[in-house]
Structure 1
Amino acid sequence: MREKIFVAGAAGAIGTALVPLLTEAGYDVYGSTRRADRAEALEARGVTPVVVDVFDAEALRAALIRIRPEIVVHQLTDLPADLDPKLMTEAAHRNARVRTEGTRNLVAAALAAGSRRLVAQSIAWAYAPGQRPHVEDDPLDLEADGIRRVSVGGVAALERSVLGAVGIKATVLRYGQIYGPGTSTAVPKGGSPVHVEAAAWAAVMALRHAQGGVFNIAEDNAEISSEKAKRELGWYASLRLPKGLAA
């Protein structure tokens, strides 16, 4: 019997790149979306769609108990199209709620369903000022001001929920600023960019190799060190979807 995997946020940028890698690898993929109009597109890509809102804790728990996935992958965000600057202040609060309340609900549902592994999306630009490039043991910028404080607080809450889940092998992937198909930019931007397809590969390689913990996932740069992911996961930033799998 094929392993069941539940991808929360399967219709998002990284989820879209991740799903074909998982189906090609032989997983039985269930993908969540809160929008019913996206279910048909997921199904066309070999995914069993699950229309559920991560904030509906009871419905989410019921869905995972019904599916009984061995693995849960958290790729949920709530950001505006093209990261419209005029909308980012409000979006930062919504996204922090996804990372705080949404992650708490998803972890609880995974535990109730008896899932064994959990991989979750975090970010690599939440570190406190200090010596660079930042490594995974460096502290997060919890004393930041304004909207950054909201965002970093959400990240910290997500990571606590995921890494604190008892009985699950949990991995956090701190992604750099993603670019490529389905994102807000086709070219690298930000201090620690990563291509969306390389980001998707990191989730697959975490499932294959990670024994849990935190990994930076970004291209070589002065801000972030991804040496741990290279060493322990065999990940590298030039990874892309094989021909025929790209959306």
Structure 2
Amino acid sequence: MTDTTTNAAGERIFLAGATGAIGRMLVPLLTRAGYTVYGSTRRAERSAALDALGAVPVVVDVFDAAALRAAVQRVAPTVVIHQLTDLPAGLDPQQMADAVVRNARIRSEGTRNLVDAAVAAGCARMVAQSIAWAYAPGAQPYTEAQPLDLEAQGARSVSVIGVAALERCVLDTPGLHGAVLRYGQLYGPGTGAASATGASPVHVEAAAWAALLAVQHAAHGAFNVTEDNDVVSNARVRRELGWEPGLRLSAEAM
């Protein structure tokens, strides 16, 4: 693997969704690695929690395009990390139907606003959260080269269309060097699942490590981020970023 790691000295990170399950794990990893982290939240009452984690709080709503652009320009980040979601605590089944629609809006409209803000601020790099269970039916294990399930129906269609919009925006915007991390089913603190669940799970701390490594290696393209399984291949993220499923917050930053 070619060593493309970047030096964190003086680099600012704008972390959108810093109070989410992955964001809370990612802030200390980034700061320990030497980055200055500006963590966004739409709720002012969460600022103290971000400060305690080591991030500079930025209160802004991703759907307020003008305010978001101004906030990102003030930070002038080297990299923008997109970990925004809108999901209920514990993935409450009674709330998921509405949450799927809200989450898809974040992935489409919210991502577009965030990408536009990054480009306007002169930031040429982005790492964004995607999912590893949006592939069209086909040969397994799924690799990043296989197509998304754009013929899906019902609630799955809403999610897949949102994911496709996010990935196009991050990967195809001229002048933006983007990476999308296709996370498996999250488990661990803050996820609502204490143990591995689903066909291609990943621990939330390992998921956060993937984002740090994507920043450090200036990653480009799509990466499946899952534990070893027969459904989704994690060969690329292992090979190109040196990621391992067993990484936790206690591991040393590279």
Interval containing the TM-score (normalised by the shorter chain): over 0.9
- Partner residue of 2:242? 234
Of residues 117-126 and 202-211 in structure 1, the stretch that sits farther from structure 2 once superposed is: 202-211
- Partner residue of 2:71? 63
State the secondary structure of the residue aligned to 1:85: coil
Distance 1:201 1:244, change over 3 A: closer
Q: Measure the CA separation in 2 of the matches of 1:211 and 1:122.
A: 15
- Structure 1 letter corresponding to 2:234: S
Q: Measure the CA separation in 1 of the matches of 2:158 and 2:148.
A: 12
TM-score (norm 2): 0.94
- Residue ranges of structure 1 left out of the alignment (5+ in a row): none
1:51 equivalenced with 2:45 (yes/no): no
- Partner residue of 1:40? 48
Contact 1:31 1:47 in 2 (8 A): yes
- Partner residue of 1:171? 179
Q: Measure the CA separation in 1 of the matches of 2:177 and 2:230.
A: 30
Q: What is the CA-CA distance between 1:45 and the residue it aligns to?
A: 1.7
1:92 equivalenced with 2:106 (yes/no): no
Aligned pairs for 1:117-136 (under 5 A) are: 117-136=125-144
Aligned pairs for 1:161-200 (under 5 A) are: 161-200=169-208
- Structure 1 letter corresponding to 2:198: G
Corresponding pairs, count = 245
State the secondary structure of the residue aligned to 2:95: helix
- Partner residue of 2:123? 115
Q: What is the CA-CA distance between 1:40 and the residue it aligns to?
A: 0.8
Contact 2:226 2:245 in 1 (8 A): yes
Q: Deviations over 1:18-71 (max 9, x none)?
A: 000000011110000001110011012211100000000000000011110111
Q: What is the CA-CA distance between 1:243 and the residue it aligns to?
A: 7.2
Q: Measure the CA separation in 2 of the matches of 1:57 and 1:159.
A: 19
Q: Deviations over 1:76-133 (max 9, x none)?
A: 0000111111111111000000000000000000000011210000000000111101
State the secondary structure of the residue aligned to 2:129: strand
Contact 1:210 1:233 in 2 (8 A): no
1:153 equivalenced with 2:161 (yes/no): yes
- Structure 1 letter corresponding to 2:37: V
RMSD over aligned Cα atoms:
1.3
Q: Deviations over 1:164-203 (max 9, x none)?
A: 1221211010000010011111100011100000000001
Aligned equivalent of 1:213, options 217, 221, 230: 221
Contact 1:129 1:141 in 2 (8 A): yes
State the secondary structure of the residue aligned to 2:58: strand
Of residues 38-47 and 92-101 in structure 1, the stretch that sits farther from structure 2 once superposed is: 38-47
Q: What is the CA-CA distance between 1:72 and the residue it aligns to?
A: 0.2
Identity of aligned residues (%): 64
- Partner residue of 1:21? 29
- Residue ranges of structure 2 left out of the alignment (5+ in a row): 1-8
- Structure 2 letter corresponding to 1:49: P
Q: Measure the CA separation in 2 of the matches of 1:199 and 1:95.
A: 19
Q: Deviations over 1:122-172 (max 9, x none)?
A: 000000111101000111011111000000000000000000122121101
Contact 1:210 1:232 in 2 (8 A): no
Aligned equivalent of 2:114, options 106, 111, 115: 106
Aligned structure 1 segments of 4 or more residues deviating by more than 6 angstroms:
none
